[in-house]
Structure formats: C-alpha cells, structure tokens
Structure 1
Amino acid sequence: MQITEKDLLEKLKINFGYDSFRLEQKSIIENILAKKDTLVIMPTGGGKSICFQLPSLFFEGITLVISPLIALMKDQVDSLKANGIPSTYYNSSQSSEEQQQVFDAIANKSIKLLYVAPESLPLLQNVLNQNYISCVAIDEAHCISSWGHDFRPSYKQLAFLKKTLPETPIVALTATADKATQEDILEQLAILNATRFVSSFNRENIALEVRPANDRVKQIIKFINERSGDSGIIYCLSRKATEQLASKLKQNGIDAKAYHAGLNFEERAKTQEDFIKDDTQIICATIAFGMGIDKSNVRWVIHYNMPKNIEGYYQEIGRAGRDGLPSQALLFHSYADVIQLRQFIANTGNREVQEAKLDRMKQFSEATVCRRKILLSYFGELIEENCGNCDVCKNPPKFFEGTVIAQKALSAIYRLQQKEAMGTVIDVIRGAKNAAVYDKNYQTLKTYGVGSDTSWQHWQHYIIQLINQGYCQIAFHLNNVLQLTDFSKKVLFEGEKVQLTTPVEVKKELKTILKEKNSKKSTSDTLFERLRKLRYRIAQEEDIAAYLVFSDATLKALENERPQTDNEFLAISGVGQRKLEVYGGEFMEEIKTFINEKKQGRKDTTLETFQLYKEGFTIDEIADKRNLKAQTIFSHLSKLYIEGKDVSLDEFIEADTLKLIANAKKVLKNEIALKPYFEFLGEKVPYEQIRVGLTILQKKR
C-alpha cells in the first residue's frame, strides 16, 4: 500500500491533534516507513516520539521501543492511550499475570507499541522476530556510547538486534550527541548505513541566563515567587544539596520535593509521579531526574550548581518549554563548583576529554557575547545574528578601564607568594580582620586593604575575568592557589591596559514587584486558569498526568480562540478526534460559562441544567438542549446533589452497581481518582456511573 502525505497528516491530526509536521519529522517518518535504519538527533521538545509513534500506526506488527527508564514507561503508555493508540510496556515491576497479558497482546497484535528496558529484552526472546516486530526504536540512544554524557552499560547489548531482525528498521533517537557520539551510536548498533537527520539545536523559546552564585537560595525563592503556580526543576550536584534546598523552599511556603538516587524506588517513583501530575510543582534533583519525562508544561529549569559539560546542560534545560511556550533557564555559576567538578573528574578514565568539556562549560558561563551562539556552536550549528533571548543580549556587559583594579589583584597574589586561593586573596585586598589573615600576618603586607572600598562579590567578579584573560591562573593541583602568568608582567611592569566588565546586578524595582503581586490576583480568574483547573480535575479522576489531557500550549490556544462547536474545537492544535470526543464537551462548557459570566456577571450554569431536570427532561435531552455532552450534565447533577438540591441520582444507577462501587471504595481506601475504580471493576462500569456512585456514597457518609 502506498502511504501518501495525506494519509500521514490525517493520522497526525486524529491521533496527535497537529495539523502539520515540525522540523524534519515528515522526512524521518517516510524514511522509517521505507524500512530504512535511521539516526534522529532532535532537540528535547522537538517531537522525537512522533517520529516512531506515527509510523507504528501503519506497520502491521509492533514497534518495540527501548527506553532506559522503567519509572517513565507508564507515563509514556498513558500518553499514547490518551491519543487513542493501543500500547503497553513490559518490565520487571509487573506481576507474572501482567507479563502474560503483554505476551497475549503481542500474539493478538492488539497493540501498536511495546515499551521495554534493555535489561528485559532477554525475557522477550520468543517474540523478537519479524513475525511480531515491524520496527525497533531506541530512545535516549546516546546511552550506548562511552563518549556520551550518560553512558549506560545495559545499552551495550543492543547490537544483537540488527542480527536478530535484519529486515526490521532500527531507529536511534537522542537530543544530544556530538559527532563522535553519533559515529559511536551507529557502530555500536551495527547500523552504519543509517540515514542521519540532525535538526537544529536552537530552542528559541528558552531564555538563557547566568548569575553569580551569591545568596542562591534567596534568589531562587524570589524567582519562584515571581512565577507562582509554574512547574520547575532545580538541578544540584549532590544529594545533600537537593534535600537542604527542598527543605529551605518548604520553610518559605514553596511546594518542593527532593529527588536523588539515595531514595528508595517507591519514594523516587512517587515523587516523579507527583511532579508529572502537577501535585508537586517543584523538584530539587540530581541529574538522575528528568530523562524521558515528556511533561510539556515545565516552565523553568534552574542549575543550582554548574553542570560538568554542555551536553548535560543542554539536555537539562531542554526539559523546560517542550510545548513551545516561553520558558527560562537560569544557571548559577561559581568557582567553587568548577573546583568540585575538577575533583570529580580527576580520577576518571577519559580525564582530558572531561576537562576540555568542563572548560567549554566554564567559558559559556563566563561569556560576554551571545550565549546561544556559544551553545549552538558546540554542536556544530552556527547562527549569524545574536539571539536576543539571553541575558548577555538583553543586558550587554559594560566594559571600563580596569587596569588599576587588575594591578591591585595581581600585586596581592605576588605579595602572598602565589600560595593562597581566591578567598584569602580577596580578604587581604579588602583588609579583612579574620583568623586566615591575622594568623599569617598578612595584615602587614603592602596590598592589605588596598581595595576595601569594593565589595567581596565585585572583587571575585574581577579576578575571574583576570583568570579568563590569562593574567593569572588557578593551580588546581595545589589546593586551587592563584598564580601569576607571563601576561601578569605586562600589566604590573609594562603598562598594558586591562578592560573589565561591571557585574550585572539582579534586582527588581519595588514598583514592579508590587505590580506583579496585584496582577497575580487578577490572573487567577483568567480563562486559562479555569481551563487549567478543569484539566487538573479530569487528570485526577483519570489518574493521568495533567498535560496528557491537553498541553499548556493547547490551553492557551483554547483561551485565545474560544471554540464553541466540535469543528472549531477540532481546529485547535493539540486536539485530535479522540480528545474531542472524550474532553471536548467539558472544555467547551467551561469556555461558554466563562463568556456568559463576563457578559452577565458570575452565573451558576448548573442551575440551567437543574431547571430542565425539574421539568422532566432526560439526560440526553438536556445535553441536546444545552449543546453539551451527557457526561457534563452528569457532573452538573452530581454537583447539585452534593449541594443539597432536589436531585435523585439513584435513578441513574442500579443498586447492584452501587454495591460494587461501595465495595471497591473500601478496597481502594477512599481513592478519589476514577481510573482505579474503572480498572478494579474490570472496565465494565462506565466512568459516568462510577462518578454518580461515588457522589451518592459521599453524600451518605
């Protein structure tokens, strides 16, 4: 069968809700459908998953997806099911009965995608043949390469797949792989002739910012308070730092949780699930967190500590703004982090490569030119224009004649006989009266106190620039002492001039803060907020992540377009046929209610339903008259019933069904989500009936 572009676009809209392809998605999909091996390098949020998920709908057999993270397989499968695509996962956390159900689904070809961790592949030996498997997708493919920043030994065994399935296309996908890693991926997977698709690495919607690490916690608290209600991730170098930071944020009324490898599996899974479902807004994590998370409404990422390389930094900031809406990446930079990272890599096998990569990261952090240019050039992508969306572009550094400052700093290093680290050098320049200075009689030096009129942070800023310009250096092998270089003489004795930049102060005028506080009150009753609350309620009832109902970008489009008919709703980007059928009614009702309230003042729309119910109309008749879905009318009647209005919900449910729900309620310990009841009752009782039953039981209690 010849698959046309029209066929592809039809499936794209029905199952994913999009009207057109992004980046190179169409070419990649056509390549896979032609059964050719494929390497996809595409930025996080660029739409990698669609590249193998959409072709799976055309293949006769199953697309096997190899993913490194068991904890996220359920989330990925939930996402597919929400789009009407039958899929499942197979891993060690399942019971033997659940695993047998997976084998039955494979044998019956009743699923299109099967997610599996590389460790579980040997257990699928019986189905790893071309009768069942039509395509193999290897997600996070950089994990196979020891050149990659996230090497996983379990990925090394995947070379056998090409031998076992010679006619089956293999698709390797990753967001970050430099040229060496790309070559290694193809070699390790034995797909040397794979077609390569390398998309632009430029995520224009993410604003880049670097700040000095002074009072980090205060800065972070202020940053979060200015973005109330937004989801974010804060990356820290150590487990201890994640715990301490989460604790400080909680003390300041901010909902945050720590995530690191020291927690047990259940704790990690629960924290991750709470974040995905918007039950927790902020995660303080080590780099173990985030890979494979498709949560599209992460609005910001903060690096509490500097990452060890640009690949890691790029991948981590890419977890923000996957829906394409404006997002922020804030990095705190300090020399203490550089020193700690150098200690981490001192005893590693490929130390020289790691040190070179750390140096590039350091150069990015200390840049006085467009940061995005530096970031993209690392991946071999050059842009002519400055990005306009990084702190350097928005607030270019101001240079001044800093020769006297340079001479004071270099003289202090010389007088201290090049035996002290930066902290003590600054203390001497500023005339500090502490033990580190007095115990060694440094107060007697000529340079003691010559810079007392300048703050500690400013001196740190200036000395870092002198290091970057080569006028002095850190001797990492000698407890990080500062030493002079050959260039130092030019400044001290030969009259060479030095240009320095003024530190950029991070501050907001009081008026702006007050204005933001006032605007928060008014934004709480926007249509977007109303739709977000509705999405959260539906997600809780279905026990899925909120962004799987609709992304923030789709909610914004609904807010702007305000669709009120099925066709108008379907025209919104991110709305497919299934989502229209399942969620369209409730969202259009919320939109209509909002519009009416703005016209007439706040009005309870459920009262219209109540009036028609009292007049004796059936559920379907009320739905038809009000141009709503039956499930919306049921939710109105449930609300009215709880409020004590004269509504008899018992007429909509059999006594036996109510008993089944009451029994399930005891077993499930008063669970509020509807999906666990639906599954517990063997998927035989519809969601509307469960909602009605639980409402009756709630009222009786």
Structure 2
Amino acid sequence: MNLQETLKHYFGYDSLRSGQQELIDGILAGRDVLGIMPTGAGKSLCYQLPALLMGAAGRGVTIVISPLISLMVDQVKALNQAGVHAAYINSTLTEGQIRKALEYAGQGRYTLMYVTPERLGTAQFLDFAGKASLAMVTVDEAHCISQWGQDFRPSYLEIADFIDKLPVRPVVSAFTATATDIVRRDIVQNLRLESPVTIVTGFDRPNLFFKVVNRKGGRETDNSVLNYVKRHEGESGIIYCATKKNVEKVHELLVAHGISAGRYHAGLSMEERKRSQEDFTYDRLSVMVATNAFGMGIDKSNVRYVLHYNMPQSLEYYYQEAGRAGRDGEEAECVLFFSKQDIMINKRLLEHKVSSANAGIDDDELRANDQRKLNQMIRYCETDQCLRQYILRYFGDESPCTCDKCSNCVVTEEETEQSYITDKRAVKKMAVMADLTDEGMELFELLRAGRLELARKQNVPPFIICSDKTLKDMCIKLPRNSEDMKNVYGMGVQKTESYGETFAEIIDEFCLAHTEYVESMKAEALDSDNPGDLGTQGVESEKQRRKEKTVRKKEFYIDPNMLDDVEIVDECIVSELANRINELNQKQGITGMKKLTAAFINGLLQQNGYIEELDMDDGSKTKRVTSKGAEIGIREEERKAKFGRRYYAITHSRESQKVIITLLKEYFFTGYGEGIVE
C-alpha cells in the first residue's frame, strides 16, 4: 500500500493535516525531523504512518521513546485496535513478558515498540537494539530533554548516547506540542539531530475557548467552580490545583454535591492514582481534580473543559494542561480562576523547588528563568488584550490572530452558561458549534452508549474505540452498512470490521424511527459539495437499501399479556422503559425483530395528547409535556446543552409508566404491531 492507502486503511482518514506531509516525507527520505505541533494536530500520525510504510518495506521496527507508562499503554491499545502490531516495554511487565516482546520485535512481528527512556540503557535492551533492524527512533514529548522546559527529565539526556551505540544510525524524529525557541535549540543539540526537517505548524488551538475569571479565592472560587461543573454535568473535565490541599478540598466539595469526581496528586499511593486515572479514562468518573502530577499520560480525547483553580507557574504549564481539552477537535473551554493569592502560592512553590543537580546550568540562572515565567503568567491573567494572541506570541508564533473565542474578545455572562450571542459574528459562531439537531443529539447519545458497551467488552477506554468526532460524523452521514461506514472519519478497515456492524445497526434502527431526520440529512448532502456523504451508493440507493432491509426484519411486536411483567420503577426516562420491554422478548428467545424504540413510545404519547412537539426559536424542535401529561406524572426539566442550546429532559413516574403500558397493550391487541415495515 502507498501512503494514502495506508492512511485510509489503518486510520480511516482521507487526507493529512498541515505540516504532516512534510514531516512524513522527510522521514521516508531518511532525514531526521523535528515537529512542533499543537495538541490534537496529529503528531503521532507523523511517525506512526512512516513506521508502517518502512516496516512494510522491510526496513525494520520503529522505537518510540515515551515518558509515561500510561501514555504508551493507551497509544499501543489504540494502534492494536486499528490493526497495527505494536507493543511496549516498561516496568509493568514481567521479565518473561519483556523477553518475549523483544524476541517478537527482533523477528519483525511489531511495527512499533514503545519504551521509557530509562529502559534504553539496560543491557537487555541494548543487546536487542544492537541485533535488530531499526528503521527509526522517535522521541515523543521531546521538550523533556531541555532543562529550560517545564517537564525536564534527566533520562532524556541519555537518548543520544543510546543512538550512538547502534551499529547503524536510524532516522531520528522528535515531536512536542510546547517549545519556546531555547527549548527547540536544546532538542536539536541534545538529541544530536542531523540537519533536521523542522516544521512548526503554529501553536493555535482554534477549537479552544480561553477565559480568565477574577475571584477573591477561597469560598468565592469554590462556588464558581462548583457552578461551572454543575452546568456541564455529564461532560468530561479536568480541574487543576496548585497544591495537594486544594485538590482534596475541591474533590470533597464536588463529591458532596453529587458529582462523580476523582482526585490525583503525589500524596496518594501509586495504586490510588492508577485507579483514579483509569476511572477517568474509562468514563467511570466525569471530573478529575489534580495537581500537575496528572500530566502527559492523558490521551483522553473527549475532555470538554479544563479549569484551573489556581494560576500555574508558567504559560508552558498552562498551555500544556489546558491543551488536554478538545483533543478530538470539537469545541472545548479552558477557564483559569485567578486570585492574588495564587501569586504568593506560586512564589512559595518556586522557593522550595528542588535544585536542578545538573551539569552546565547554574541553579540561580534557572530560578531567575522560573521567576520570569511566573511574571509572564501573571501578566496573562491581568491583561486586557486577546488571550489567544498573548499565548501565541509567547511561543514565538507571529501568525495573524483573529479571535472571537476568548473572554477578552467576546462578552460572556458571569455565572451562566456561555451563550456568546453578543453580535452577528457571535450568533454565527454559536450556530456552527451547535450543528446537531435534537434528533442528531439523540442519535449521538445512542452511539455513545453503544461505544461504551463495546469498550467494556474490549476492556479499553471508549475513546480508543472511536472519538466523539467520529460519532458526530456518523450522525451526519448515517452509514447503515459496513461499506458506508468506511466513509466515516476515523473508521479504518480494522475498526469497521470490528465495530461497524454494531454502529450501523444503531443508526439503521434510529433512521427507521426518524424518517424526517433522514430526509433532512439527504437534503443537506444534496445541497453540499459532497452528495456522497450519505454513502458510497449515493442518495438514490438509500430507498432501495431500506426496502431490502425491511424484507429481512419485522417491526417490533410483543404479546400484550407479557407487558404485565414489565418492571415499574420510581422514575425513568422513556428509553429505559423501552429497554426493559425489549428484555422481555429477549428472555423468550424472540429474534428477527426490530426493538421497541423511545421514538415509538413518544409517538403514542403525542397521539394521545400527553406530550407535544414545539418549534424552537433556532429552528429546531423539542418535546414538551402537556397539562394532560403532567396530570399522569410526566415530568420535564429545562436544561442547557453545550454552547447555550436549550432542551427539555422528560422523565416518567410510576403512574405515567403504567399509562404507557396501557397504551402499548391497546396498540398490540389490535394486531397493528405485526407485519413488515415499509
């Protein structure tokens, strides 16, 4: 396979992003490379893709040096899910497992081998590296090699010596997201890169909204953080604190208010930290409260916000930590709560910072540099200029900055959900963000639930199955078979084979119950420049595909008498009731039939006047409870989705659940539930 075919086959992408092509071409031409690219810009692909091509050409295995065990574990899992043979060597493995992994790598079974820098100097690894055919040595998080950076790691200084000991020097590639000019020079010098192809794609993260909020600290900041998390309930977020004491305090506050939050700091045992990180990664916790010890090992793509309870010590720290939001490219927020107390906290932390114990740089010089960084961080919190431009200029990015996504450029309301509706430009921006209708969001949640189930079966984090961006693309393209699933962003051949059918079934069932939504998506596809978005067979073949599908599968039906066995609970949403009814048929071994859907039940409720569908100001539709519905215990609660969209969450009491059962009995006693769907 050539580069384009490999990109599509394994990763499901149709094209490369800015800067990726130049770096990949440099590697394939045998050149050293240095890539400075913002988080989420696709750094990993720049070495994973050429590693596949070089491996296929018999040039050997690629060694990837990564600073944290959790980071390499997630990356190897993601590669394996994509059909790429990769492994890692670290302290979590037994000696027997390490020996076997190195044996397999030497036999060419792996395309990529991930290792920590400390592993390189061991006799066992040096023996392997001296005998194996190595195509490339990749240094991830390369800023760790510089004592001027925020994450200096002395073991990184030994990488160049390791490379020099190899019988044949492979291509050397280095990548990082945050590096000032002095750090870049250190990377090139300390890794001994030879005339590297250097690409700096810029530091801008267009999908991130930056905000600084001035608070007095203490209870006032606590209240603001709690309000924010409550407004973003169900979304994944990180809250960074400067001290372990503050982590404990904020964590206790959130848990006391019913929020599923974890904590992470150096004062906890290794087992506690590992458990917290896994719970967050696997979506068992929605919020993580942490010090900066919760660092580079975070590869979770669907973090929707990062809050800073305290000001960090430098813009490098801040941008790296804030950059853990929105790695999937979707909209996310970075909010820094600033108080004057933060200045004193950070000054004390710098005073107690451990001596560098290095060769070549004076401690006083490093302390002075740290103080300069802190002063620049303070100016960021106090400036009235564009926050995005301030960050970019700090990292030497002089590209034009037109910002409508920071709190200094856009008027935002205090202590309420961000609406951004302040002028025509802001109105247009909100419309772009909220590009899924209520029906689209319903499908997104169904797909997300399906992804979570797949992730549990595979024992991997949900984002490794696929990203939120991939699910969103499914909601727009509506792939209803494995062939069309190949056109979805991020669905390579292996993922399509493994999970395509599951997602396609969810989408097909949804489409049969939401014909208006399907038609609207068809219309949008026809109006766009790419009518093929609905699938490889095009819009016309959709009707034929539906016709063939209905011949195979019967509409839902249940013996009305079985409905007496449905469990009635104190409160539930309609989809939960539908699931309990579907389980009755499953227990009877009934197959070849579509499932009862929430949409079908809502249709019955609407026909009988218990709920109604109303047009919203933004052109979308929403369901509301009528006075008749309220009388039987149907409840509604107005909520705000991301970026200001309003909707109504409807729940059912015991009384209204019994009414639904009665309506279903009446429907199925007529016999209308049997037969073939058109």
Q: Tell me, yes or no, whether TM beats 0.5.
A: yes
Map 1:376-395 → 2, pairs under 5 A:
376-395=392-411
Could you tell me how far apart the structure 1 residues matched to 2:279 and 2:352 are?
37
Q: What amino acid sits opposite 1:644 in the alignment? A: K
Q: Give 2:251's aligned residue.
A: 246
**Correspondence for 2:163:** 162
- How far apart, in 1, do the equivalents of 2:331 and 2:351 lie? 38
CA distance in 1 between partners of 2:73 and 2:263 (Å)? 21
Corresponding residue number in structure 2 for 1:221 = 226
Distance 2:417 2:179 in 1: 42
* Structure 1 contact 52–137 (Cα < 8 Å) conserved: yes
Q: Which residue of 2 aligns with 1:508?
A: 416
> After the TM superposition, which residues 475-486 of structure 1 pair with which residues of structure 2 at under 5 Å, given as runs?
none
Pairwise CA distance, 1:118:
1.1
Per the alignment, residue 643 of structure 2 pairs with none
Q: 1:45 aligns with which of 35, 40, 64?
A: 40
Q: Does 1:295 align with 2:296?
A: no
User: Residues 48, 20 of structure 1: CA spacing in aligned structure 2 closer, same or farther, 3 A cutoff?
Assistant: same
3-state SS of 1:57 partner: helix
Rounded to whole Å, the distance in 1 between the matches of 2:240 and 2:465 is 27
The residue type equivalent to 1:589 in the other structure is E
Looking at structure 2, the residues matched to 543 and 342 of structure 1 have their Cα atoms a distance apart, in angstroms, of: 43
Matches within 5 A, 1:87-486: 87-121=86-120, 122=122, 123-129=124-130, 131-165=132-166, 166-214=168-216, 215-346=220-351, 349=363, 350-395=366-411
Q: Which residue number corresponds to residue 18 of structure 1?
A: 13
Q: 2:427 maps to which residue?
A: none
Counterpart check, 1:550 vs 2:493: no
Following superposition, the deviation at residue 13 of structure 1 comes to 0.9
Structure 2: which amino acid aligns with 1:224?
Answer: V
Q: Check whether the contact 1:66–1:139 (CA below 8 A) recurs between aligned residues.
A: yes
Q: SS in structure 1 opposite 2:489?
A: coil
Name the counterpart of 1:645.
Answer: 588
Aligned-residue offset at 1:227: 1.7
Alpha-carbon contact 1:128-1:164 (below 8 Å) kept: no
Instruction: Show the counterpart of 1:690.
Output: none
Q: Does 1:573 align with 2:489?
A: yes
Which amino acid in 2 is paired with 1:35?
A: G
Q: Alignment partner of 1:391: what SS?
A: coil
What SS is found at the alignment partner of 1:574?
Answer: coil
Distance in 1, matches of 2:17 and 2:441, equals: 33
CA distance in 2, matches of 1:622, 1:361: 60
| Aligned-residue offset at 1:276 | 1.2
Which runs of structure 2 are paired with 1:609-688 in the superposition (5 Å)?
625=552, 643-646=586-589
Instruction: Check conservation: 2:106, 2:132, Cα contact below 8 A.
Output: no
**Which residue in the other structure is 2:360 paired with?**
none
**Cα distance between partner residues in 1 of 2:550 and 2:95:** 44
Structure 2 counterpart SS, 1:261: coil
Q: Which moved more, 1:592-601 or 1:572-581?
A: 592-601
Distance 1:347 1:586, change over 3 A: closer
- What secondary structure is seen at the aligned counterpart in 2 of 1:65? strand
**Aligned in 2, Cα 1:144/1:509: closer, same or farther, shift over 3 Å?**
closer
8 Å Cα contact 2:239-2:290 kept in structure 1: yes
How many residues are matched?
Answer: 502
Q: Distance in 2 between matches of 1:136 and 1:585?
A: 37
Q: Where does the alignment leave 5 or more consecutive residues of structure 1 unmatched?
A: 1-5, 396-503, 513-518, 602-620, 628-635, 649-701
Distance across 2 between alignment mates of 1:546 and 1:530 = 14
Q: What amino acid does structure 1 have at the position aligned with 2:588?
A: K
Deviation of the 1:260 alpha carbon: 1.0
Amino acid at match of 1:218: N
**Cα separation, 2, equivalents of 1:300 and 1:238:** 20
Go from structure 1 to structure 2 and tell me whether the alpha carbon gap of 1:96 and 1:217 turns closer, same or farther (over 3 Å shift): same
CA distance in 2, matches of 1:646, 1:575: 33
CA apart distance, 1:290? 3.1
Shift, 1:186, TM fit: 1.3
- Please report how far the alpha carbon of residue 91 of structure 1 lies from its aligned counterpart in structure 2 after TM superposition: 1.1
Shift of 1:647: 6.0
Native 8 Å contact 1:145 1:184 kept in 2: yes
* Aligned position for 1:58: 53
Q: Which residue of 1 aligns with 2:525?
A: none
Which structure has the larger Rg over C-alpha atoms?
A: 1
Summarize deviations over 1:246-287 as a string: whole Å, max 9, x none.
111011111101001122222212211111111111100111
| 162-171 or 118-127, larger mean C-alpha shift | 162-171
The answer to whether the 8 Å contact 1:370/1:386 transfers is no
For 1:283 and 1:266, the matched residues in 2 are separated by 16
Equivalent residue of 1:300, what SS?
strand
Instruction: Say which SS state the counterpart of residue 320 (structure 1) adopts.
Output: coil
Q: How far apart in 1 are the matches of 2:351 and 2:174?
A: 32
C-alpha change, 1:156 and 1:80, in structure 2 (3 Å) is: same
Are residues 625 and 346 of structure 1, via their aligned partners in 2, closer, same or farther at CA, if it must alter by over 3 Å?
Answer: same
**Which moves more between the two structures, 118-127 or 371-380?**
118-127
Q: Percent identity?
A: 37
Letter in 1 for 2:162: L
C-alpha offsets along residues 349-389 of structure 1, whole Å, 9 cap, x if unaligned?
A: 21211111111111111111111111000011124343110
Letter in 1 for 2:337: F
Q: How much does 1:200 deviate?
A: 1.1
RMSD: 2.9
What amino acid sits opposite 1:155 in the alignment? Y
Q: 1:533 aligns to what?
A: 449
Q: What secondary structure, in the 3-state scheme, does the structure 2 residue paired with 1:294 have?
A: coil
